[in-house]
């Protein structure tokens, strides 16, 4: 079970506890008014946990989960440990990239997404770099995967970033400077020569 699945399961557990609390009070014979009041307090708190249980594995709800975990830090010791684990997974583990990609609009990789495409799998037809990048983007590959595949084809960093922008996998203005362009600009910079000596 992955870390996000554990967090999702903990959210489901919270939902069950908040729904079961007023039911348990009714079974134990609490007055009807007290059960209604208890339910009116517990059930609204179950809603955000239900939402998070459904979406956290898809890379959504990180801020809401962080707020709730921050509040639960006060429930020492179990709540503190669970909250610290949750905050670590959301902001500092390898799952951070999933949340960042979803926030940037790339969407989470789905379980039924195809595996990375073999670059020779083009039906025997020579495929241009743009067509290759477009095919990978249409199949839902993440930008970092497409970038690696294009670099493996021998394209330089400038060409790769241009293609990623052309197929809609990067936002305007997010193009990182490449080392090749820095070297080229240094090579083209005019060199100052000392004036010739007069005899």
Tell me 66's DSSP state.
H
> pLDDT exceeding 70 applies to what percent of the chain?
74
Span of 6-20, 44-58, 118-132, 181-195 with lowest mean pLDDT: 181-195
Structure token pair of residue 16:
């069950």
Question: What percentage of the chain reaches a pLDDT higher than 90?
Answer: 37
* pLDDT 10s digits, 51-99: 999 999 888 999 999 999 999 999 889 999 999 999 999 999 888 878 8
Cβ–Cβ under 8 Å, residues 17 and 42: no
Is the previous residue joined to 77 through a cis bond, with omega within 30 degrees of 0? yes
CA of 42: how far to CAs of 18, 34, 54, 100, 135, in Å? 5, 12, 19, 32, 49
pLDDT for res 181:
45
Q: What is the pTM of this model?
A: 0.54
Q: What is the pLDDT of residues 131-164, one digit of tens each?
A: 888 888 888 888 888 888 888 888 888 888 888 8
């Amino acid at each position: 079970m992955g870390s996000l699945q554990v967090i999702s399961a903990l959210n489901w557990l919270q939902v069950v506890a908040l729904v079961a609390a007023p039911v348990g009070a009714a079974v134990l014979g609490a007055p009807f008014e007290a059960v209604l009041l208890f339910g009116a307090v517990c059930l609204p708190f179950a809603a955000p946990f239900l939402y998070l249980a459904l979406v956290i594995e898809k890379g959504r709800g990180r801020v809401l989960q962080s707020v709730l975990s921050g509040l639960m830090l006060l429930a020492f010791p179990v709540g503190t440990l669970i909250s610290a684990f949750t905050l670590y997974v959301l902001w500092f583990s390898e799952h951070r990239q999933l949340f960042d990609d979803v926030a940037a609009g790339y969407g989470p990789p789905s379980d039924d997404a195809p595996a990375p495409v073999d670059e020779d799998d083009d039906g025997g037809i020579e495929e241009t770099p743009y067509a290759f990048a477009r095919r990978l983007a249409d199949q839902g590959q993440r930008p970092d995967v497409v970038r690696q595949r294009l670099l493996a084809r021998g394209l330089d960093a400038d060409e790769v970033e241009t293609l990623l922008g052309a197929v809609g996998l990067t936002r305007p203005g997010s193009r990182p400077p490449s080392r090749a362009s820095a070297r080229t600009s240094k090579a083209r910079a005019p060199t100052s020569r000392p004036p010739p000596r007069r005899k």
